[in-house]
Amino acid sequence: MDEAESKPSSALERLASVSLDCQDVILVSEEPHLGAAPMTTDPETLFWSLAAELQRDDPRLQEGTIMSGRCLRVGPEFLALVDYKGSGLVVKLPKRRVAELIETGEGRAFGPAGKVFREWVAIPVPDRERWRALLLEGITFVGAAVSGA
């Protein structure tokens, strides 16, 4: 038997050839779990998955367009968009909150065509729970403007 034939050819075969204490092994399935939202780091997929979830609970949320791309609105007002020139989540929040997120390094100023929008922040790192929380903050902020509060 030549050396190439004796080496395990797949990750599973390599794993099977290693003796480990079962307490130290965590098995990860590549198959999606039934009924669970897919885990993804693709910004576009993550954003629209979150948008669909939030739309089920809030009928004011609807898809629209901004800067020739898709966005999420609260009624007639812009709320968020995704991956504008690689920016990740872009969400409308109060100026003070935007400044806070930029100061901590979590967010970046959003300035298409060089003009910074002070009520908009880009969150470049895809994170389901974080993006969901920021979208909810944005819904509260933009929703208040829509209702005139």
| 142 within domain boundaries | yes
Burial of 69-107, coded b for 16+ CB within 10 Å and e otherwise, reads: eebbbbeeebbbbbbbeebbbbbbbeeebbeebeeeeeb
pTM for the structure as a whole: 0.72
Range of the domain at 139: 43-147
Q: What pLDDT, in 10s, does the model give residues 105-132?
A: 999 999 998 899 999 999 999 999 999 9
Who's near 131: CB < 8 A, 6+ residues apart?
A: 46, 47, 50, 89, 123
CATH number, residue 77: 3.90.1150
| 100 within domain boundaries | yes
| 119 within domain boundaries | yes
- Counted domains in the chain: 1
What are the backbone dihedrals phi and psi of residue 134, each rounded to the nearest 5 degrees, phi first? Answer: -70, -35
What are the backbone dihedrals phi and psi of residue 93, each rounded to the nearest 5 degrees, phi first? Answer: -140, 170
Here the tokens at position 69 are: 């791309």
Q: At what angle do helices 128-147 and 43-57 cross, to 10 degrees?
A: 50
Q: Which residue has the tokens 């948008």?
A: 51
Beta-bridge partners for 70: 65
Measured distance CA(149)–CA(141) in Å, rounded: 10
| 118 within domain boundaries | yes
Q: How many CB atoms lie under 10 A from the CB of residue 149?
A: 7
| 47 within domain boundaries | yes
| 4 within domain boundaries | no
Instruction: State residue 149's pLDDT score.
Output: 57
| 25 within domain boundaries | no
| 32 within domain boundaries | no
Q: What pLDDT, in 10s, does the model give residues 8-49?
A: 444 434 333 433 333 333 333 333 333 344 455 899 999 999
User: Side chain identity at 122, as an amino acid letter?
Assistant: A
User: Side chain identity at 56, as an amino acid letter?
Assistant: R
